[in-house]
Amino acid sequence: MCAEEPQNFREWLKSEAMGLGFARVGFASCEAFTQERERLDAWLAAGGRELFPYLDHPDRLNPERLLEGARTALVGFFPYARPEAVPGAVTGSLKLSRYLWGSDYHGVLKGRLQRLLAQAQARLPGLQGRACVDTAPLLERQLAVRAGLGWQGRHTLLIAGKGGSWGFLGVLLLDLELEPDPPFKGHRCGTCRACLDACPTSALSTFRLDPRRCLTTYTVETEKEPPPRVTAALARAGWAAGCDICQEVCPWNRGPVWGDPELWGGPSPLHTRPALALPLGTAQWQKLTRGTALRRVRHRHWRATLRRIGDRSEEPDASFVG
Ligand code: B12
Ligand code: SF4
Ligand code: SF4
């Protein structure tokens, strides 16, 4: 299939991906993960399966199963944080995690990876590929480590070295053998434990996260009632959707690479208005969150969280002020 030198094609692919906004790009083989099996099973058994049944997928350890003939995974780190986007900075505003500010990253990243695939297919007719962002049964952070992008910190997120951890991961699987990058070995957390100490629910133990305690689980991913310890932490910490605490304290995020304005999309009333001035109706919620990743949070879920963090959303309907 390869009408040109694989090395040239690889370099071209990488530079195109960087041009699309990925700050770090690497290549990994699609071989099955073997060492992760036991840990993944343990994670699933300790609450993961109950909260995220879709992660208990037979192909989860095997990227080859996601695309017939998959040989190479291009893995990209796409920065999303912006210096001016600081949750809760406006007095009285709600804290929304940085990854929820702006356009829905699933669509943005998938669109860019699909554009990259189309360009690659124009150079190499017959090439097959599949773009995966977040929702495919793929161990994205482990694949990023394999592609040499960085390491999983003690908070379990991928730290792209000096680029920090404020970034989404996107994967383009290809049915073409390209030279892999050397995997990242070990970690650069040293003796730091800042994320473990700062987590308001003690959800983190070294290199492991208990999803039954993470605020993000209950404010974004599931409408299940949080355990009392999480409800108490929600009220104390005041995060209305997602949580950035373990990344805010990480020394590797002191000078991160900043995100793409297209993804960020500018602040919305959700970030800049005091909670009391926000609309409460379902239609208004849908209008405010249209096209953003927050759209995945249903209105009744949002209101339940506001109740937990002590907002006035118990009140009957109020209309948008201003
Ligand atoms: C489910 C999920 C969640 C769950 C569980 C998170 C988790 N850490 O697993 C919840 C809802 C809590 C969550 C929260 C967040 N998420 Co999330 N999430 C996912 C998703 C869909 C799957 C993750 C998964 O497979 N977990 C399963 C477990 C088994 O993975 P693991 O933690 O890596 O487990 C390993 C370790 O425990 C290790 N291990 C176990 N014991 C030991 C012991 C030792 C000594 C060692 C060394 C290792 C070790 O081995 C296990 C297997 O490899 C991925 C997308 C994807 N498809 O990969 C996004 C993803 C991980 N999330 C992402 C983001 C942005 C977040 C949040 C930051 C959002 C927010 N601000 O609120 C938080 C961060 C919380 C945190 N500290 O991790 C990004 C992370 C980007 C990055 N830079 O890493 C991803 C990659 C999505 C994306 N495409 O960008 N998320
Ligand atoms: S996102 Fe928040 S609750 Fe979840 S592990 Fe990090 S600090 Fe803890
Ligand atoms: S806060 Fe410290 S321990 Fe946690 S991920 Fe960052 S460097 Fe590692």
SS3 annotation, 282-322: HHHHHHHHCCEHHHHCCHHHHHHHHHHCCCCCCCCCCCCCC
Number of Cα atoms under 13 Å in the Cβ half of residue 158: 24
Which residue, judged by its Cα, is nearest atom 2 of ligand 2?
243
Ligand closest to CA 293:
1
CA 299–ligand 1 middle distance (angstroms): 25
pLDDT in tens, 169-189: 999 999 999 999 999 999 999
CA 198–ligand 3 middle distance (angstroms): 10
Q: Is the CB of 221 under 6 A from ligand 1?
A: yes
Angstrom distance (rounded) from CA 234 to CA 274 = 18
Mean pLDDT over 237-260 rounds to 95
- Angle of the 282-289 helix axis to the 299-308 helix axis, nearest 10: 100
- Please identify every residue annotated as catalytic: 134
Backbone angles phi, psi at 287, to 5 degrees: -65, -45
pLDDT in tens, 203-226: 999 899 999 999 999 999 999 999
Ligand closest to CA 229:
2
Q: Is the CB of 33 under 6 A from ligand 1?
A: no
CA 245–ligand 2 middle distance (angstroms): 6
* Whether the predicted pLDDT of 261 surpasses 50: yes
Query: What pLDDT score was predicted for residue 167?
Result: 97
pTM of the predicted protein model? 0.95
